[in-house]
Copies of this chain bind each other. A is one copy, B any other.
Amino acid sequence: MTEHIIWKNSQLHLLDQRLLPFKKVYVKCKTLQDITRAIKDMTIRGAPLIGIVAAYGVFLGVREILRRRKRITETDVNQVYQALKATRPTAVNLTWALDRMVKTYLQYRDSEDLPDFLLQAAITIHVEDVENNKKLSQYGSELIDDGDVILTHCNAGALATGGYGTALGVIRAAHESGKRIRVIATETRPYLQGARLTAWELHEDGIDVELVPDNHVGLLCWRGLVNKMIVGADRIAANGDVANKVGTYMLALAAHEHNIPFFVAAPKSSFDPAVKSGHQIEIEERPGDEVVVLQGKRLTLKGVKGRYFAFDITPARLITYIITENGVMDKPYSKYIKLLFSV
């Protein structure tokens, strides 16, 4: 895989995911504003990756302030925190990573090496994310059988994380263990993360992948052309309800109707035990133009408005297993999620 997040020469280099797979352009981030912009405008996306990038953002924000003056206050750090938190509302990994960075700040606030500690903390969040993906992928791959045709939505791959991926990590691990699998990727409108990112990742790894419009999943189930589904998560509530890329819920309904196992793969950082159920998760609405304009080209008349809710909620009861780096959870999820956060 092409590296997509690189810390080099005191800058964070982010592969611009809006241009993939056609162009490989890195956006260099030196300032807090560079980071908030990259998250907001979807230069990068994917819940775990947003968290990692935001962690680097805290370091860059603090560094900027310390270049102007000698000391940094709690108010300063809070401003950096708020600027990053305001970028996108749904993925909880963002808050999780910011909270970890604040802890590091509180621990080393009096040290003159504070910036070094913050950078180290961001790098650790990044490295641990990859390790956790590999762990959860190992657990998940045991649920995959030789000959499976696995459907996935959006991109929960290396590109959505620090590396390796969650849902695609499971697929990768199954493939690496010698299981012969085929993947069906939904194109995932409007951003086409499935077409542009997932198909590209799997193709690079030599995993057989076919692309379908999002509206095909019901038919594929009905015809027996799919026998497992796996997706990532942007936030998992205390009861196991999952916020993920819009369309996930419809996949889960079709899977449920046809008794097709439906897996969610996500690290502990995607859980939000403070949120009781999916009803309390804020769903981001993005500009309608992202639906009616594709790669600069208008798809309909000028007067017609689009609407784009970036996520939806899949109720826990439709999910067969939730796969984490600590193991595979089954229902009732509330019990296991409580356990996960008590250790």
**A residues at B contact (CB < 8 Å):** 21, 184, 186-190, 192, 195-196, 199-200, 203, 209-219, 222, 246-247, 249-250, 253-254, 257, 283, 288, 291-292, 294-295, 297, 299-301, 303-309, 311-313
When distances are taken between beta carbons in the complex, the residues of chain B under 8 Å from A249 are 218-219, 222, 254
Closest to A216 in B: B246
When distances are taken between beta carbons in the complex, the residues of chain B under 8 Å from A306 are 210-212
Task: Given A187-B189, A195-B292, A222-B313, verify A215-B250 contact (CB < 8 Å).
Answer: yes
Task: Given A254-B250, A312-B222, verify A212-B300 contact (CB < 8 Å).
Answer: no
Q: Check B216–A307 contact: CB distance below 8 A.
A: yes
**Main SS class of interface, A:** mixed
Q: Check B283–A200 contact: CB distance below 8 A.
A: no
Q: Which of B199, B250, B257, B283 contacts A300 (CB 8 A)?
A: B199
A203 vs B306: C-alpha distance when bound (angstroms): 13
Q: Which of B247, B297, B304 contacts A211 (CB 8 A)?
A: B304
When distances are taken between beta carbons in the complex, the residues of chain B under 8 Å from A209 are 304
Q: Check A212–B307 contact: CB distance below 8 A.
A: yes
Q: Which of B203, B253, B257 contacts A218 (CB 8 A)?
A: B253
When distances are taken between beta carbons in the complex, the residues of chain B under 8 Å from A186 are 215
Q: Check B203–A215 contact: CB distance below 8 A.
A: no
Q: Check B188–A215 contact: CB distance below 8 A.
A: yes
When distances are taken between beta carbons in the complex, the residues of chain B under 8 Å from A199 are 300-301, 304
When distances are taken between beta carbons in the complex, the residues of chain B under 8 Å from A294 are 294
When distances are taken between beta carbons in the complex, the residues of chain B under 8 Å from A254 are 249-250, 253
Task: Given A196-B299, A253-B254, A312-B219, verify A189-B211 contact (CB < 8 Å).
Answer: no
Sorted nearest first, the 7 A-B pairs with minimum C-beta distance are: A215-B247, A218-B249, A219-B312, A189-B213, A214-B215, A218-B250, A195-B300
